[in-house]
Amino acid sequence: MDAAWEDAVKRGDARIVRDLLGQGTDVDARDRYGQTALMLAAHAGHREVVATLIAHLANLNITAKFGLSALMLAIVAGHAEVARLLVNAGADLSLQGHGAPGFAGKTAYDLAVERGMLEVSAELTPKL
């Protein structure tokens, strides 16, 4: 992941993110930890950057450490609005974390329930 791209995403600078995307930056480029810009922005709660990345067709379901997706990272960090945005964009609700005891076998729904994010967990309720 290019340093300017990573910096813009981490700072939540949607204007620069749009500019860099317009210059051909790979929307799904990964940092040295395997995280994409969408994952970084979701974890930081940068709603406008998340929306921009979704509009530029970022892959919603890439996972990195512990099998966590952008949706799961938004939930872990307590960013309900960003989590809703990802759900509405079509994030895969069946993905499960792995590795660490706090994430192993857990879906976004499980993580939301554990964190008391009732408004989000209702939107993530598994459909039968």
Write out pLDDT tens, residues 27-43: 999 999 999 999 999 99
Predicted TM-score of the model (pTM): 0.93
Task: Give the model confidence (pLDDT) of 49-101 as tens digits.
Answer: 999 999 999 999 999 989 999 999 999 999 999 999 999 999 999 999 998 88
Predicted confidence at residue 54, as pLDDT, reads 98
Q: How many CA atoms lie within 13 A of 104 on its CB side?
A: 3
pLDDT at 122 over 80: no
**Of 59, 57, 51, which Cα lies nearest the Cα of 92?**
59
- Domain residue spans in the chain? 3-123
Query: How many whole angstroms separate alpha carbon 37 and alpha carbon 126?
Result: 27
- Which fold, 3-123? 1.25.40
**pLDDT confidence of residue 128:** 44
